[in-house]
Structure 1
Amino acid sequence: MAAVKSEPARILIVGGGYVGMYTALGLQKKLRSREASVTVVDPQPHMTYQPFLPEAAAGSIEPRHVVVPLRRVLRKCHVLTGRVTKISDADKVATVTMTDGHVEEIPYDVLVVALGSVARTLPIPGLADRGIAFKTIGEAIYLRNHVLSRLDLASTTDDPEIRKRLLTFTVIGGGYAGIEALAELEDMARYALRYYENLDPADMRWVLVEATGRIMPEVRDSLGVYTVKQLEARGIEVYLDTRVKTMEDGHVVLDDGTEYDCDTIIWTAGVKANPVLADTDLPLDQRGRVICTATMQVQGLDGVWAAGDNAAVPDLSKTDVDPAATCSPSAQHAVRQANQLAKNIVAVLRGRKPKPYVHKYAGSVASLGLYKGVADVYGMKAKGFIAWGMHRGYHVSRMPTFNRKVRVAFDWLGSWLLKREVVSLGQINDPRAEFDRVTKS
């Protein structure tokens, strides 16, 4: 009697960000023909390399070059553009709402939870109406156009109070995302003002509000202090140990009594695990993350894996000090975990044991605008131009695909030779406005 040939394992990856895309890339390289099929589901048809969002917002990089088309790089995978709304591991089924609105149930044998994180919000009056997040390429493009349009509006008004409001910009959150967004956008706006004869850099007011006593906790204290001093030297106001009480109608009130009107409020005060996880039967910790073992297998479940911002993966480099330590939500962890995750899935499919995720902290780098930065790498700290160069070198090396590396490098070369582009394309936020005006006239 002929042997019955087993069907390929059905691997479903929910989420096409760092973990989802890098895991799929690893699997399509390592899996044998018909060993398994890989399906990736994400609401967007691309992966966004978030460390380059500040430079895209500032005009140093073309926004299209910050994203990687999933279908182009995952040619051996099935890519579905839709949003996972429910997971039932008991039935081995994920419920997906496709972009056209219809709902499908996708069965799986192996599940990879890579839903990532979303902006963490707080019950601050006015936040929902006035806050602008900074996690997507759409938000980066919007902020670029928005900031430049404030300069245009300010240059055309004679009302000093309106001008003051238009030229006041607030960033809430002093982590990497907030500091780099603040530094790059302020740098861009300062450069753009040379083309406005009736505006001066002193007319702008940039404010950073951070609830804790320091910024960028990922780097050593001395570099955090240095960064604050550099920002303040540029005229940026830094409020530490300070919280926002309200921002209704753009009127910002801080808990130290400071009040002012502001037309731009950028919210970067942390992230939280994707709330979709609440509609699953997966084990979650108190922060809403999937509970995992060090091998990134979901605790107590067979064939289910998780990594990245939505996963509580033990941090083995810290468990001697804190047995409950888990990996922080960062791109560095996500990329490294994804590489090990792909290897572990293949190992289990072939009857071998998976290996735990162990990492050595390489360090951190941050840009503070053009030719300025801070770095803390392998115990060595750097500042200024050298740190800025390290930041660009590290992140272009991490950028997925040779295609995108080259495009980003050419963007930098073009910006250096031809200077920044500081034009606002605000019409893309409402592309039908002019046509509607004409048709109704």
Structure 2
Amino acid sequence: MRKILIIGGGYAGFYAAWKLEKKLRRGQVDVTVVDPRPYMTYQPFLPEVVAGSIEARHAAVSLRRHLHRTRVVAGMVTAIDHEHRVVTVRPADGDAFELGYDLVVVTAGAVTRKFPVPGVAEQAIGLKHVEEAVAIRDRLLTSFDRAATLPPGSQRQKLLTVTVVGGGFSGVEGFAELLSLATSLLRRYPELDRGELRFHLVEASARILPEVTGPPGRWVVRFLRRRGGQVHLNTRIESATGGRVVLSTGEQFDSELIVWTTGNAANPVVGKHTDLPVDERGFLVVRPDLRVGTDREPVPDAWAAGDAAGIEDLTAPVPGTRTVPNAQHAVRQGKLLARNIAATLRGGRPKEYRHRSLGAVAVLGIGHGIFQYRRLVLKGPLAWLIHRGYHVLAIPTWERKVRVLAIWLTAGLFGRDIVSLASVQQPRTAFVTGGEPPESSLPDWRKP
């Protein structure tokens, strides 16, 4: 059997393995997926996880549950030595080890792009993984509980101030869902006033949502401002030390929650620790048929797809344009990877990747959204329904579709779940303290 090694269990990696199982007979190939997480994250649902509209586990698809004939290795690939057909894997426990292969599929994805802004590494939370979405939600809910016990003032204002950096889809949807959640929470917190909420969306360019055209993007800015959000365009964040946000415009404010969504950067394993060809940005050089290399210099037994791969968009009007790093492309590239690999193993020829965009859709809170397909633009509840309809069909496996639909129906009847489980990040605290209050909180007559 030929050994196929898939690096990364995200969209492209999961779909490549899933479809290879369907297209190749048992015993024909030995497929292994290596990923530090045992699941595929369905990232379009993360803003709804932030808002409590979807249960966190339902935005993740278990690799072991759905990949029945694929070996799943929990670990991070730290180096790819294609010349010797081996990768180095670092597991969570134990020593690093090597895995050999005959054919490699690189679907490692990208990482969140960061800038050397003081305080960001210590204060900000990304929005690329389920754990981050849960932490953001719990941080907001806990801030409301803490603020409700404080008198008006700077400390209370900091707890009720949220900053989202980045005006792409993740940033705008996360910002809108957080704002919608916070607004709805005020009904449960009579101690707080809507005028105390401060929500800031910071974008370095002159517009948000670059995947949509100018007028719809400007409409989203107006919509967010009407809802009480403050949108800062042509603005950079200069510092976030201690939660004190300093903008390039000179404005300053304290923010308890800072969410960082400034786009994707090259995966360092792909960009720095492989002998496969990479471009000037650190992305793999990939042919339209998803094989690594160029037409003149193909790399045998190496394939790639997803955010780590620089793949030309053959449907774009401008030659040399690369596919946008989003779920639409990653899912379809993963499926085509499986078909092309199966075809070449049978002596056939791989097909080139071509996919015209199905449009852009963003959710802006319950009952609100925007959808654009070419010149067609839809706003409000209809766009929101299109978003939900498309993504419940797109998330893999019927098991996940049913679970997501059930949660949506439940939320429609009873509203969002507003329970914060921030304490799960320190699960031993209650056990260690035994419920004993800290000495500093005791009145003088109770202190020893």
Q: TM-score range by the shorter chain?
A: over 0.9
Which residue is equivalent to 1:76? 69
Structure 2 residue matching 1:386: 3-state secondary structure: helix
Structure 1 residue matching 2:259: 3-state secondary structure: strand
**Shift in Å at residue 33 of structure 1?**
2.8
Which residue is equivalent to 2:35? 42
2:128 aligned partner, one-letter code: K
State the superposition RMSD in angstroms.
1.2
**Shift in Å at residue 377 of structure 1?**
2.5
**Shift in Å at residue 267 of structure 1?**
0.3
Where has structure 1 moved over 3 Å in runs of 4 or more? none
**Shift in Å at residue 118 of structure 1?**
0.9
Which residue is equivalent to 2:376? 380
Distance 1:353 1:325 in 2: 24
Selected match of 1:312 from 293, 310, 323:
310
Q: TM-score, normalised by structure 1?
A: 0.96
Which residue is equivalent to 2:179? 186
**Shift in Å at residue 382 of structure 1?**
0.3
Which residue is equivalent to 2:290? 296
Q: Is the 8 A contact 1:56 1:66 kept in 2?
A: yes
Q: Is the 8 A contact 1:361 1:378 kept in 2?
A: no
Distance 1:13 1:137 in 2: 22
Q: Is the 8 A contact 1:130 1:250 kept in 2?
A: yes
Distance 1:43 1:106 in 2: 15
Distance 1:302 1:379 in 2: 42
Deviations 1:119-175 (A, max 9, x none): 100011111111111111101111110001111111111251111111111000000
Deviations 1:340-391 (A, max 9, x none): 1111111111111111101112111110000000001254210000000000
Distance 1:371 1:301 in 2: 49
Q: What does residue range 202-217 of structure 1 map to in structure 2 within 5 Å?
A: 202-217=195-210
Distance 2:14 2:277 in 1: 23
**Shift in Å at residue 257 of structure 1?**
1.2
Selected match of 2:274 from 269, 275, 280:
280
Which ranges in structure 2 are unaligned for 5 or more consecutive residues?
A: 438-448
Which residue is equivalent to 1:3? none
Distance 1:363 1:439 in 2: 53
Which residue is equivalent to 2:427? 431
**Shift in Å at residue 440 of structure 1?**
8.2
Which ranges in structure 1 are unaligned for 5 or more consecutive residues?
A: 1-7
Which residue is equivalent to 1:15? 8
Q: Is the 8 A contact 1:372 1:385 kept in 2?
A: yes
Which residue is equivalent to 2:105? 112
Selected match of 2:344 from 333, 345, 348:
348
1:241 aligned partner, one-letter code: N
1:269 and 2:254 are equivalent in the alignment = no
Deviations 1:182-210 (A, max 9, x none): 11111111111111111022210000000
**Shift in Å at residue 98 of structure 1?**
1.9
Structure 2 residue matching 1:121: 3-state secondary structure: coil
1:14 aligned partner, one-letter code: I
Q: What does residue range 13-412 of structure 1 map to in structure 2 within 5 Å?
A: 13-277=6-270, 278-299=272-293, 300-318=298-316, 320-321=317-318, 323-412=319-408
**Shift in Å at residue 220 of structure 1?**
1.6
1:315 aligned partner, one-letter code: D
Structure 2 residue matching 1:301: 3-state secondary structure: strand
**Shift in Å at residue 279 of structure 1?**
0.7
User: How many aligned residue pairs are there?
Assistant: 432
**Shift in Å at residue 32 of structure 1?**
1.9
Identity of aligned residues (%): 46
Q: Is the 8 A contact 1:363 1:379 kept in 2?
A: no
